[in-house]
Amino acid sequence: MTENELKALVSLLDDEDKQITTHVEEKILSLGKEAIPFLEKEWESNLSPIVQSRIEDLIHTLQYELLKERLRIWYESKDQDLLTGMWIIATFQYPDIELEKLKHELEQIYYDAWLEFRPDLYAYDQVKIINSVIFNKLKFGANTKNFHSPGNSMINIVLETKKGNPITLCVIYMLVAQKLKLPIYGVNLPNLFILTYKDENHQFYINAFNRGLIFSKQDIENYINELHLIPQTSFFEQCSNIEIIRRALRNLIMSFEKMGEHAQAEEVKLLLVEISDGGDLGV
C-alpha cells in the first residue's frame, strides 16, 4: 500500500459511520508492524483529536501484537536469553527501547565490576566485590518509596534510575556475575526473588534487594517457617529463565492493579498466557 493510500485511509478515521471506521481500522491493522512509523508520522501532523486518539489506539494494538510475536519467538527459542526476555517486557511501555542499548549499559556495569574482580578470591569475597561495585559505587538499590511502580519491572528504567524491585535487581546482578563466570542464579522464593551462588563446594544465597546481603539455607528455612509454608525444592535451587520472565510479568500485573490501571494488567495477563504451560497464572 502506498503512502497516499494510507493517508486516505487515515482521513476516514473520523467518519461518523461506525462501519466505515471499523473497516478502516481493520484494514490498517492488517498491514502489521510496518504501518507503525507511518501512523506515528500521521499522528504528529493530524489536527483532529478524534483521529489522533484512534491512531494512538491503532499504534498500541500493533505494538502489542509485535510484543506478543517477539515473546512467542523468545519462548520457543533454545536458550531463552534472559536479557532479551526482560527487554521484551520493557517494550510493553517503552516500545522504542533498543536491546543493544541495554546490552551496552550492562556491559559498562560488568566492566566496572571486572576492574575490581579477582578470580583467585574465595566465593564470599568475590560476591562482596560485586556488592561493592553495584550497591556502593554505582548506587543501585531497592525502590522502597515507590515499590508498586510498573517501572520497577522495566529493566531500562531500573538501569536508568538505579532503583528497582527484587527480580529486576537480581537480573542485573546475575547477568553481570555470570559474565564474570560466577555460578550465580535466580531462586523463586515466595514473596522475594533472590540469588544463589552454587558450585561443587559452596551454596549460599544473596538478597539483591537488601544490598547483596549473604545468607544461608537455614535462613531460608526460617523464612519459610515464618510464612507457614511447606518447604519445596524450588525455594532453595536455581530457576529457569522462563520462570524469571513469568515472575516478572506477574509482578507487573500486580503493579498495574495496585495503580488502578486494570486495562494494562489484563493485557499483561494475556502475555503471561502466551508463555504458560497451562499451570497456575496467579500473581
Asked if 50 contacts 209 with a C-beta cutoff of 8 angstroms, the reply is no
Residue-range domain boundaries for the chain = 3-76, 82-274
> At the top level of CATH, which class does the domain 3-76 belong to?
mainly alpha
122-140 pLDDT, tens digit each:
999 999 999 999 999 999 9
42-56 pLDDT, tens digit each:
888 777 788 888 888
DSSP line for 225-283: HHTT----GGGTS---HHHHHHHHHHHHHHHHHHTT-HHHHHHHHHHHHHT--SS----
CA–CA distance, 245 with 268 (Å, rounded to integer): 12
Collect all residues with Cβ–Cβ distance below 8 Å to 119 and sequence separation of at least 6. Answer: 126, 181
Identify the pLDDT of residue 13: 80
Across 12-16, 150-154, 208-212, least confident range: 12-16
Identify the pLDDT of residue 281: 43
CA–CA distance, 228 with 218 (Å, rounded to integer): 15
Q: Residue 91 — φ and ψ, nearest 5°?
A: -70, -10
The x, y and z cell numbers of residue 164, run together, are 528497582
